[in-house]
Chain A
């Protein structure tokens, strides 16, 4: 079973730039969620994708956007980067089923530093 993989592992960008982070979900999983984890904090929900559509969004501005592809892989795009966007970005996949309580399976994350 292939786990969740994210790329790149580290990234340095300048304020105002745009960034794209990528995620391949675990085999058999049809739902992808993105979380932002600031240093010393718990992960914060950005949004979730199911069947290639956004299916829930946390308290993040529209400059955070995403895509899910037919093979369930996903991208997170952030425009007009700000210093406070520096964080570990975690992708998590799960299998969505009726009445299911399946847990999230996380990748190792992308460490984004904005200077």
Chain B
């Protein structure tokens, strides 16, 4: 099993550009989520999904869109990149949405917006 994979590993964007961060998992997990990690702060939840076709906003959703057309994939779209979106982005999945489940993380995408 590859676990949770993310692409790209690094990305530099100019302000106003759009892009999609890819996330895939091969564990048949129901729950998937996107976090951002900024220096001196914990991970903050951007969006999450409890199954194919179901998504919801987390703590910091503005400027990001998600969709979940399959169980495996959960892409994160930046609509119009801003310097405030410079961050490290992590995708995670777990078997269910119940709070006791272990989350499995991807390697992260380091995004810089100039």
The answer on A and B forming one complex is no
Which chain B residues have a beta carbon within 8 Å of chain A's beta carbons? none
Q: Which residues of A contact B (CB under 8 A)?
A: none
